Amino acid sequence: MIRGVRGAISIQENKEEEIIASTKRLLEEMIQANCISPESVASVFISVTDDVTATFPAKAMRLLEGWTFVPVMCMKEISVPTGIKLCIRVMMHVNTEAAQADIEHIYLEEAVRLRPDLKK
């Protein structure tokens, strides 16, 4: 069965190094928390707010060993006036036997405000 594994992180500045480092950190935490192998991933969607433009955050996935062939796409997040600024969101589509309640979604930095109900 395919399950969605969500994650989000906010950054301080729209700089390539920070976007890649923060996205890599988020991906690594999502992967570790849910025991995800690249072979189990159907695809990954990464969205960014309008103020994240210095680079494609998907570049961070290519720094992870074994993730070369996982399809990944970047897109813009809906611009909501009360939304979190400088935010990167990830939706990973994973083949897993885990129940939805057992999936650990990862929210870091200011992005914890997106889903405070999931904070462990």
Residue of 3, 18, 28, 74 with catalytic role: 74
Which long-range contacts (C-beta less than 8 Å, at least 24 apart) are formed by 94-99? 94/2, 94/3, 94/4, 94/5, 94/34, 94/36, 94/40, 94/41, 94/42, 95/1, 95/2, 95/40, 95/41, 95/42, 96/1, 96/2, 96/3, 96/34, 96/36, 96/40, 97/1, 98/3, 98/34
- Residue 3 is a catalytic residue: no
- Residue 25 is a catalytic residue: no
- Residue 115 is a catalytic residue: yes
Residue of 28, 77, 104, 110 with catalytic role: 77
Residue of 6, 29, 104, 110 with catalytic role: 6
- Residue 35 is a catalytic residue: no
- Residue 87 is a catalytic residue: no
- Residue 39 is a catalytic residue: no
The set of catalytic residues is 6, 62, 74, 77, 89, 107, 115
